[in-house]
A = this chain, B = another copy of it.
Amino acid sequence: MQIRTLSTLECTKLLTANRVGRLACAKEGQPYIVPFYYAHADNHLYAFSLPGKKITWMRANPLVSVQIEGHGDGRGWKSVIVNGRYEELPDRIGHKVQLDHAWSLLSRHNDWWEPGALKPETSSVAEHFPNVFFRIFIAEVSGREALAG
């Protein structure tokens, strides 16, 4: 098996093609990993979450790491790692375009990690929204591909 480094463009394509990744935050030196769904746009990963441990931790320390995997040919694989920064988007009016974009991508999935997280009772996404809407600014991205051989 041969390993090669992915270009930034290749990393970006993998981020765009995927919806599920793992997000790590940290508090006082203790990391915490959770799976999460995201939508990639404009050098950010957009996501929704119910309030909880990871939101509390990221509010206190916005430095995060995200890892995404893709399958290559046969036993091959690709892995992308993002160094990022948590940004909460509390002003839904100000970020309505991003919210609608993320919603349109993510609401197609009905296998959410947090069930009910994306089932607002009204048809208006921006109103009565129980979730935290946030994005991860992609400060740095790197990736590797293993070519089966």
Enumerate chain A interface residues (CB-CB to B < 8 A): 1-3, 22, 24-26, 29-35, 61, 63-67, 69, 75, 77, 79, 81, 83, 110-113, 115, 146, 148
Decide if B31 touches A63 in the complex (CB within 8 Å): yes
A115 touches B33 (CB 8 A): no
Give this chain's copy count: 2
Q: Is the interface of A mostly helix, strand, loop or mixed?
A: strand
Cβ–Cβ contact A33 & B67, under 8 A: yes
A30 to B84 Cα, complex, angstroms = 9
* A64 contacts across to B, CB distance below 8 A: 31
B35 pairs with A24, CB closer than 8 A: no
CB-defined contacts of A29 to chain B, threshold 8 Å? 26, 61, 63
